[in-house]
Structure 1
Amino acid sequence: MDDVPLSFLLGCLVILILLSAFFSSSETGMMALNRYRLRHLVKQKNRSAMRAQALLERPDRLIGVILIGNNFVNILASAIATVIAIQLWGEAGIAIATAILTLVILIFAEVTPKTLAALSPERIAFPASWILKPLLWLLYPAVWLINGISNGLLRLFGVDTSDIPEDHLTTEELRTIVHESAGRLPRRRKGMLLGILDLEKVTVNDIMIPRQDIIGIDLSDDLAAILQQLRSSQHTRMPVYKGDINNVVGMLHMRDALRVLSLAEPSKDALLQESTEVLFIPENTPLHTQLFNFQQDKERIGLVVDEYGDVQGLATLEDILEEIVGEFTTGLPDSDLDINPQGDGSYIVGGLTSIRDINRTLGWKMPSEGPKTLNGLILEFLEAIPEANVCLKIDTYKIEILQIKDNIIKRARLIKGKSH
């Protein structure tokens, strides 16, 4: 090689370093491709994506052809660099060539191209697939031999290279993706997606109207009072019961109630005839399950019952949908369900307000695993019904009871303290 011009050797060395950079960047770019975006592009018939997807179906072959090319050009570059160094510096050039070439390869053929590929994998991987696919076909015998030996060694350690894990996302991983999509998804759509993902974590107990707040038609009341209740009702559907909500006999739609009101002589029997069968919902039913049940049964409302059949509350399709899309109705005024900010940074909250509503509205993290309402949380903490207004602290939240009526805490003042 002493007769080969130095300029030619230098040119070859530069080309080999560029090839090394290509193989290094293509390896990182192919492995860093977003698999879900890649599948989306494949469905759109993107040819570059289809080639990349085909290469990634056998990652052992892809890595094999890349490493064969990379090692070949690096070893050849090392040999040429040694020849150049010997021509310039004699025997001492061997050590000089090793040091210089190591530095050059690290900077220009490893760190820089791999960093670029990691930051923009599609810009590197898609063009590289045009070269890698025919190169794999050309070097297939060598790739097959090397992969056969390598896979055989892996099998000795109990690794099955044919068992390629599928890319499946868990609910928590999907939630992370939605959270990190800020800027690409409108805030409202992001909230809806998170609401859907949260349906399996929330039960009907979290969104139901508590038993004591259920407004229904008591057939033991005077007929005139029942008719007046029907005329002034702001609800679309109401349960019909006798004396106690546990003795429910049907569900009455106000559309059907109009027929009773239009009769010359309305009666309780007529109300019973217009009432439909009640849908009972076991407590702790996940919302995504109940949403499916509503759809399957073609119902919009049901009574939540415990293991003994006692009514615990009332759940509606609208309540479940509001968990996904947010509140879309104004609802009825109810002072027990208010969260009213005060000038000192505290909040006056109704005792029957759910803990989930408080956390969602204020961005707090009050305990929500046990009792579902503020009243229940306070009573569980005190282990008794307070006879007077008291103050307490649950985690970092300071609570002052303001009003107690009928053994229920009607109003309380809440303020969040500093966490330690």
Structure 2
Amino acid sequence: MLIAHISSLAFIFVLLCLSAFFSGSETALTAASRARIHRLARDGDGRAKRVEKLIEDKERLIGAILLGNNLVNILASALATSVFISLVGESGVVYATLIMTALVLIFSEVLPKSYAISNPDGMALAVGRVIGLVVLLFSPVVNLVRHIVRGTLNMFGVDLESNEAVLSARDEIRGVIDLGASEGGIRKSHRDMLDSILDLDDITVEDVMIHRKNMALIDLAKPVQEIVDEVIESPFTRLPIYEDDAENIVGVLHAKDVLRAMKATSDPAEIDIHAIMTDAWFVPETTTLREQMNAFLSRRAHFAMVVDEYGAIQGLVTLEDILEEIVGDITDEFDHANHGVKKLTDGWIQVDGTMTIRDLNRRFDWSLPDSDASTLAGLVIYESEIIPIVGQRFQFHGFDFEIIGRRRNQLTQIKVRPVAADAVSGD
């Protein structure tokens, strides 16, 4: 009898170890980084390929692990109950329940799962081969269970087949970036760059273009010498050329082409502007930044005119404008240091009305909405439903706004600051 009890206890110990293995494997395989496992598999790691195949069908994987875990736990509990009943009688059921609950909880659940969560990728790679065999062995039973579960849920109107992931891969990546930034693992500037890359499909060239009123244009009707002088004095290397009307863009003049033409002749007035200018490239204002960047790369171009649905010129966009959306302002020796933002001593921030809300949010980590307006002036006009005059104040979206500059119907300067916490609580 004693030998039988010892054998049963030894078998119970083995079953608890198997339970710990199943519990730890479940945690490791569900918590493992799919991106890291995929990279290892792509690099030829056989263990990673097995793990990647397992986690492709998580329902099948979890079903097999749970089946194995429940089998060993129930068998261990049954053996323990039998041993304790033979030792202390009917009260052995209580002792077996208490002792097995403690053993399973501590050594078969908490301990292995704690270890697995601390090193999910490493443990997933280590257990992949064995769990693969378990999944293969239990697959008939798991498939039967899956049909029963799906049928039961269908009775209550739940269709698992139609359930799709709520979050896209881009949303998941953005969540990881935000989490890393909140924990201090990612610098704010790096987070802004990564977020901007993810936003390239949502931002159009209209949001980043140089507006037509700020474009530097050349009148083709001017004398050649004046045109050459304008090109030399301009801080830009590419300049649109118009004929008769500023809306009639007929080409683009590159500073290098002008320099080559000047080198070829002793008299700049003899340069044929028509011969050295290139055709203008027109793109719709609804083009996304990703589409435009790909177009720039495929055409080996850096410059395009932006038009609306009626073909009217709205502005121009360059490759640098798109890159600045990702890395921030790119300045050179010809750029002025004015970025349109000035912090005042009284807590207000003075902002150019043409500054985009997205740039303002990125700079100060604010959350002003940009769905209805792309610039700060546009947001104030949209929310106030008027064109404010200098001195008017507004409060919306948790911010104070004061108009301090206006030119005709354009808001040129606006002061903005977050509403003080005590003011919010007082309301």
TM over 0.5: yes
Structure 2 counterpart of 1:40: 39
CA deviation after TM superposition for structure 1 residue 219, in Å = 2.8
- 1:58-100 deviations in Å (ceiling 9; x for gaps): 6566556544543443333233323331343123223332333
- Say which is worse superposed, 122-131 or 260-269, in terms of deviation: 260-269
CA deviation after TM superposition for structure 1 residue 211, in Å = 0.9
CA deviation after TM superposition for structure 1 residue 309, in Å = 1.5
Q: Distance in 2 between matches of 1:103 and 1:51?
A: 34
Q: TM-score, normalised by structure 2?
A: 0.82
Structure 1 counterpart of 2:206: 205
- Say which is worse superposed, 251-260 or 285-294, in terms of deviation: 251-260
- Say which is worse superposed, 171-180 or 52-61, in terms of deviation: 52-61
Select 1:401's aligned residue among 400, 403, 407: 403
CA deviation after TM superposition for structure 1 residue 133, in Å = 4.3
CA deviation after TM superposition for structure 1 residue 175, in Å = 1.6
- Say which is worse superposed, 374-383 or 37-46, in terms of deviation: 374-383
Going from structure 1 to structure 2, the CA distance change for 1:391 and 1:272 (only over 3 Å counts) comes to same
The amino acid across from 2:299 in the alignment is D
Cα RMSD, aligned residues only: 3.4
Q: Distance in 1 between matches of 2:47 and 2:373?
A: 55
Structure 1 counterpart of 2:255: 254
CA contact (8 A) 1:219 1:268 kept: no
Structure 2 counterpart of 1:333: 336
Q: Distance in 2 between matches of 1:412 and 1:57?
A: 53
Structure 2 counterpart of 1:323: 325
CA deviation after TM superposition for structure 1 residue 367, in Å = 3.8
* Aligned positions, number: 413
Q: Distance in 1 between matches of 2:299 and 2:75?
A: 73
| Identity across matched positions, percent | 35
In structure 2, stretches of 5+ residues that fail to align are none
Could you say what secondary structure the match of 1:180 adopts? helix
Q: Distance in 2 between matches of 1:371 and 1:56?
A: 43
CA deviation after TM superposition for structure 1 residue 246, in Å = 0.2
User: Counterparts in 2 of 1:39-78, with a 5 A limit?
Assistant: 39-56=38-55, 62-63=61-62, 66-78=65-77
The amino acid across from 1:106 in the alignment is L
User: Counterparts in 2 of 1:184-203, with a 5 A limit?
Assistant: 189-203=190-204
CA deviation after TM superposition for structure 1 residue 223, in Å = 5.2
CA deviation after TM superposition for structure 1 residue 218, in Å = 1.6
Q: Distance in 2 between matches of 1:378 and 1:5?
A: 84
CA deviation after TM superposition for structure 1 residue 393, in Å = 1.2
Going from structure 1 to structure 2, the CA distance change for 1:125 and 1:368 (only over 3 Å counts) comes to closer
The amino acid across from 1:304 in the alignment is V
Q: Distance in 1 between matches of 2:134 and 2:353?
A: 71
CA contact (8 A) 2:261 2:271 kept: no
Could you say what secondary structure the match of 2:372 adopts? coil
CA deviation after TM superposition for structure 1 residue 291, in Å = 1.0
Could you say what secondary structure the match of 2:414 adopts? strand
Q: Which has the larger radius of gyration?
A: 1
In structure 1, stretches of 5+ residues that fail to align are none
Structure 2 counterpart of 1:230: 231
Structure 2 counterpart of 1:363: 365
Q: Distance in 2 between matches of 1:385 and 1:162?
A: 53
- Say which is worse superposed, 247-256 or 294-303, in terms of deviation: 294-303
Asked if 1:173 is matched to 2:172, the reply is yes
Could you say what secondary structure the match of 2:235 adopts? coil
Could you say what secondary structure the match of 2:106 adopts? helix
Could you say what secondary structure the match of 1:234 adopts? coil
Q: Distance in 1 between matches of 2:139 and 2:385?
A: 72
Could you say what secondary structure the match of 1:4 adopts? helix
Q: Distance in 2 between matches of 1:36 and 1:343?
A: 47
Going from structure 1 to structure 2, the CA distance change for 1:245 and 1:368 (only over 3 Å counts) comes to farther
Asked if 1:4 is matched to 2:26, the reply is no
Structure 2 counterpart of 1:79: 78
Select 2:308's aligned residue among 294, 303, 306: 306
Going from structure 1 to structure 2, the CA distance change for 1:348 and 1:82 (only over 3 Å counts) comes to closer
Q: Distance in 2 between matches of 1:42 and 1:76?
A: 37
CA contact (8 A) 2:225 2:268 kept: no
CA deviation after TM superposition for structure 1 residue 206, in Å = 1.2
Q: Distance in 2 between matches of 1:174 and 1:195?
A: 12
- Say which is worse superposed, 321-330 or 265-274, in terms of deviation: 265-274
Structure 1 counterpart of 2:419: 417
Q: Distance in 1 between matches of 2:269 and 2:385?
A: 46
CA contact (8 A) 1:206 1:356 kept: no
CA contact (8 A) 2:37 2:121 kept: no
Going from structure 1 to structure 2, the CA distance change for 1:407 and 1:219 (only over 3 Å counts) comes to farther
CA deviation after TM superposition for structure 1 residue 7, in Å = 4.0
The amino acid across from 1:92 in the alignment is S
Structure 1 counterpart of 2:126: 127
CA contact (8 A) 2:80 2:96 kept: yes
Going from structure 1 to structure 2, the CA distance change for 1:16 and 1:206 (only over 3 Å counts) comes to same
- 1:366-405 deviations in Å (ceiling 9; x for gaps): 342334333444444555555x522221413333333333
Could you say what secondary structure the match of 1:277 adopts? coil
Structure 1 counterpart of 2:243: 242
